[in-house]
Amino acid sequence: MSHILVPVMSQDFVPSASAKAAKAQSAEHANLTVLSSAGALEWTVSLPLVGKWYVHVLLAAGESRPCELSLNGQRQSGKVLDGTTGGWSGVHLKWFALGPFEFKEGNNSFRLEGAAGLPHLKMFIFSPESSLLRVEAKNLAAHGSGISPEEGTHRLLYGWSQVSFIEYKVHVPKAGKWFLHAIAAARSPYAYTVSINGQPQQGAFSMPATGSSDIDGLAWHSAGPYAFRAGENTLRLDFSNWTASLREFILAADPSGLPDEAMLRELERRLAEQERIHGEHDRLLREHDTRLREHDARLTSQDARLTSQDARIAALEAAMRKCGSCEDKIAALTDKLAQCGACAERITAQERTIADLLARVDDLTKKIAKGCPTPEPPPAENLEDIEGIGPKLAEVLHAAGLRTLKQLASTEVAELQKILKAAGGNKYARNDPSSWPQQARLMVEGKKAELHALQETLRAGRSKV
């Protein structure tokens, strides 16, 4: 849509109560729309596409007359067209840009209302662009003889007599076909031959008489489209007789590349399909939210069950603390058995009884552990004072749960052999643990002399004999 122009002459307003006042023009303001008291004027513009469009206004204003703007019956925020141009006549015409505003495809209403009247209006140009691609008539690049700015009511117009050609440098943003629109006045019909970049174009740029060759005769005239290249171009107009009085040229892209109705309908269909898909996504999101709420409810129920389990675990831990006295009783029995060295058979029988008790305690501990966390093990003691136990073997015994000398003293040799074999096969199984429980008991009982005597007979835990 770039540089597409839709012109509307200010005199083509919709008839209304203000029409009479708008047409009450003096000779100085001829062909300008004049409304000098409170009132409003409205125009209809037909646009090729829905979207945002700028409104370019050519007006004259000797003082500020802010206006309220309404589009299709909807009043826009703020005031517009409150600038001045230095006077009220046609020689003071200047461009002002408004917008962009949202318009619909087809006919749109455009209304200006002022508490103190309106600026003197000449024309409106609707464009998707914020600025017009303008070429002022005075900015000539080359010309024949007899060229001069007009005087009086011709001021700011350029006219020529008996000139063979005029030439302009025109910069366009992209290559393609462009229409050439002239804002000019002519006392009689005229025609130009158009050349672009030295190439003559088919069809003359002709203009009917506008009734006058001065400001009050300004009108909008179009020709083309002509092929331009991107960047700077040379525009040349050749003629042989008196020409029109020119104010400026405005270039606009050929709108033939606009989407046709079939393409627009297809785009609308795709948009409707996208909206349907978005609606389905919204439905799925709502279902997902429902499932999340159900899941939250289940989690709340699980939290309640976990609270109940924590209470049961606390009860089992209390029961385990009551069983701590069993270990003390076993240690006392072990002490008594150690004192009966002469009663070997009785000691052996009681050791078996103790082993059974230990097995039962171990079984009870395992059963309790199934319903509650494993209690914190006792602090590890240094087992390396035992002859035959080095740092590595101490780590193996600690890992197996034998963390204290008292535990080691009450452990069967066969059990120790199982632990060593499980830890590293033959690597640890070749160690002899047969003296470890006895050494541990002597340490626990504080019998240092007997311990020393025993260790003198050992090497790496084995008897020297």
Residue 166 binned pLDDT confidence (cut-offs 50, 70, 90) = confident
Euclidean distance between CA atoms 280 and 269, whole angstroms: 17
Q: What's the pLDDT tens digit per position in 381-406? A: 888 889 988 898 889 899 888 999 99
Predicted confidence at residue 343, as pLDDT, reads 60
Q: Give the CA count within 13 Å in the CB-facing half-sphere of 40.
A: 12
Show the tokens assigned to 384. 């390396």
Asked if residue 228 lies in contact with residue 179, where contact means CB atoms within 8 angstroms, the answer is no
Judged on CB neighbours under 10 Å (0-12, 13-18, 19+), 30 is: middle
Q: At 199, is the secondary structure helix, strand, or coil?
A: strand
- In this structure, what DSSP letter does residue 114 have? E
Examine residue 100 and say whether the peptide bond preceding it is cis (omega within 30 degrees of 0).
Answer: yes
Which phi and psi angles does 361 have, rounded to 5°? -65, -40
pLDDT at 82: 94
pLDDT digits (tens, 9 = 90+) for 225-252: 889 999 999 998 887 665 667 788 888 8
> Quick one: pLDDT at residue 29?
55
Return the H-helix or E-strand segment holding 375: none
Domain ranges of the chain: 6-131, 134-257, 261-322, 377-465
Tokens read off for 326: 């069993």
Work out the angle between the directed axes of helices 344-371 and 324-339 (0-180°, nearest 10): 170
User: How high is the pLDDT of residue 248?
Assistant: 83
Classify domain 377-465 at the CATH class level: mainly alpha
pLDDT of 176-230, one tens digit each? 888 888 888 888 887 788 999 999 998 777 778 887 777 777 788 888 888 999 9
Instruction: Please tell me if the domain spanning 134-257 has the same topology as the one spanning 377-465.
Output: no
Pair of tokens at residue 287: 């279902």
Closest CA to 437 of 464, 463, 415: 415
DSSP state of 257: G
Distance CA(319)–CA(324), nearest Å, equals: 9
- Percent of the chain's residues with pLDDT above 90: 22
- pTM of the shown model: 0.51
Q: In whole angstroms, give the CA distance from residue 36 to residue 19.
A: 12
Most confident of 111-120, 235-244, 359-368: 111-120
Residue 69 has pLDDT above 80, yes or no: yes
% the chain with pLDDT above 70: 78
Q: What is the pLDDT of residue 267?
A: 58
Segment 24-34, tens digit of pLDDT:
455 555 567 88
Query: pLDDT digits over 140-163, tens only?
Result: 666 665 555 444 444 446 665 555
The alpha carbon dihedral of 43, 47, 52, 54 has a sign of: negative
pLDDT-derived band of residue 134, with 50, 70 and 90 as boundaries? Answer: confident
Between residues 288 and 328, which one has the greater pLDDT?
288
The packing angle between helices 436-445 and 413-424, to 10°, is 120
**pLDDT surpasses 50 at 1:** no
CA distance 436 to 460: 11
CATH code 2.60.120.260 for 6-131: yes
Higher pLDDT, 273 or 42: 42
Taking the C-alpha atoms of residue 332 and residue 89, their distance in angstroms, rounded to an integer, is 125
Contacts of residue 280, defined as CB under 8 A and 6 or more positions apart, other chains included, come to none
Give the Cα separation of 74 and 368 in Å (integer).
81
Distances from the Cα of 307 to the Cα of 301, 304, 367, 376, angstroms? 10, 5, 21, 22
What is the DSSP track for 303-346? Answer: HHHHHHHHHHHHHHHHHHHHTHHHHHHHHHHHHHHHH-TT-HHH
Q: Would the pLDDT of 354 be above 90? A: no
Tokens representing residue 403 in the block: 């963390």
Report whether 128 contacts 52 (CB < 8 A).
yes
Q: What is the mean pLDDT of the chain?
A: 80
* CATH 2.60.40.420, applies to 134-257: no
Least confidently predicted of 148-157, 236-245, 420-429, 454-463: 148-157
- Please tell me which of 25-39, 97-111, 360-374 the model is most confident about, judged by mean pLDDT: 97-111
pLDDT band at residue 443 using 50, 70 and 90 as cut-offs: very high
